[in-house]
């Protein structure tokens, strides 16, 4: 059955609309009367932050796991995501994903089956249908910027599984915030040497070589296939925070 989540609201069948709240906020085309509704949107935006802060305030140490919603169940990255979720829970972390299918579902499933806290921060999209069944605490957002704030505020580190534009957006958002010292430095692991090596090579051989970034910017990311290394890095960072 066709359905769509708009924040806490669900639409089904012919009630599903074809646009998103972000799109309506950012789209400047059409009649000018939409301008007069923006002050009221501030209240909705405020509500998203209040709901997110209220749901996650007592979360405890958590790791954000990013990855593609298109990862099939039989893909090696799905199995890797499950195992990552389990190991993070065993190390004392909650697991926080975008709450969608694919790699996100895998990490939530691994965390939930391991008896840990599995968190999903969903977003209103025209082609995804809400939070996966393995999310224990879920918050649906209308606005990407509110959702991103929750990831950065409540995650102590990020592990990035193979993914597409959404995953890249989340990765570079986190790196930019660290680079510009908007947030305290935290570990970022790229899980999947074959998948991510080309990106890192381009950053090193083109972007760094042309002086657009520094070596320290590349050092913010750790590339590995080793789940133990990824989890150990998060554990060490937690210890450094506590000291």
What would the mean pLDDT of 62-76 be, rounded to a whole number? 97
d(CA 161, CA 180): 24
* Beta strand 94-97 pairing with 188-191: unpaired
What would the mean pLDDT of 46-64 be, rounded to a whole number? 94
The larger pLDDT score, comparing residue 128 to residue 73, is at 73
Q: What is the pLDDT of residue 12?
A: 63
pLDDT band with cut points at 50, 70 and 90 for residue 9: low
pLDDT band with cut points at 50, 70 and 90 for residue 181: confident
pLDDT mean across residues, the chain = 89
What would the mean pLDDT of 175-185 be, rounded to a whole number? 87
pLDDT band with cut points at 50, 70 and 90 for residue 15: low
Q: What is the pLDDT of residue 13?
A: 60
Q: What is the pLDDT of residue 1?
A: 53
Alpha-carbon distances, residue 177 vs 127, 155, 184, 223 (angstroms): 28, 13, 9, 19
Q: What is the pLDDT of residue 154?
A: 95
What would the mean pLDDT of 48-76 be, rounded to a whole number? 95
The larger pLDDT score, comparing residue 225 to residue 182, is at 225
Of 35-49, 105-119, 155-169, 176-190, where does mean pLDDT reach its minimum? 35-49
Whether residue 34 has pLDDT greater than 60: no
The model's pTM is: 0.84
What would the mean pLDDT of 149-164 be, rounded to a whole number? 96
Instruction: Work out the percent of the chain whose per-residue pLDDT is above 90.
Output: 72
Q: What is the pLDDT of residue 42?
A: 87
């Amino acid at each position: 059955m066709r359905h769509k989540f708009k924040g806490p609201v669900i639409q089904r069948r012919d009630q599903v609309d074809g646009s998103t709240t972000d799109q309506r906020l950012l789209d400047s085309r059409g009649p000018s009367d939409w301008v007069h509704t923006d002050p009221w949107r501030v209240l909705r935006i405020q509500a998203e932050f209040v709901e997110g802060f209220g749901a996650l305030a007592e979360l405890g140490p958590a790791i954000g796991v990013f990855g593609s919603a298109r990862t099939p169940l039989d893909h090696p990255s799905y199995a890797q995501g499950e195992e990552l979720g389990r190991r993070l829970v065993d190390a004392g972390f909650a697991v926080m994903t975008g709450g969608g299918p694919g790699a996100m579902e895998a990490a939530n499933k691994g965390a939930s089956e391991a008896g840990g806290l599995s968190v999903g921060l969903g977003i209103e999209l025209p082609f995804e249908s809400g939070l996966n069944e393995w999310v224990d605490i879920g918050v649906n957002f209308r606005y990407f910027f509110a959702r991103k704030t929750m990831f950065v505020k409540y995650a102590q580190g990020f592990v990035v599984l193979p993914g597409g534009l959404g995953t890249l957006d989340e990765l570079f958002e986190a790196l930019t915030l660290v680079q510009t010292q908007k947030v305290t430095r935290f570990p970022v692991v790229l899980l999947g040497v074959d998948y991510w090596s080309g990106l890192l090579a381009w950053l090193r051989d083109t972007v760094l070589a042309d002086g657009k970034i520094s070596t320290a910017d590349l050092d913010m990311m750790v590339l590995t296939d080793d789940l133990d290394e990824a989890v150990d890095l998060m554990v060490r960072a937690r210890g450094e925070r506590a000291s």
